[in-house]
Amino acid sequence: MNDEHDHGADSIERTGREERDYLLQRADGHRQLAEKTEESGAKMIHTRLKQLYEERAAKIDLVDSD
């Protein structure tokens, strides 16, 4: 299907608050993985992903508060 409204199976429409909560959940999951791993490269990746998810969630807060 090439429908312009078909965003794929992984695409989910969320409200701003739902998207923010989802991103913070993902951030927390990466925080937990960073704490559990012994491998420094994996720890660094999970820590960075946590930070990126938190930054993205903060941007949603800015947009919703306008």
The 10 Å Cβ neighbour count of residue 50 is 20
Report pLDDT for 37. Answer: 97
> Are the C-beta atoms of residues 16 and 64 closer than 8 Å to each other?
yes
pTM of the model: 0.73
pLDDT in tens, the chain (66 residues): 444 444 444 567 778 889 999 999 999 999 999 999 999 999 999 999 999 999 999 998 776 554
Q: Kindly list the domain boundaries of the chain, sorted by start residue.
A: 16-65
Residues 6+ apart with CB under 8 A from 56: 23
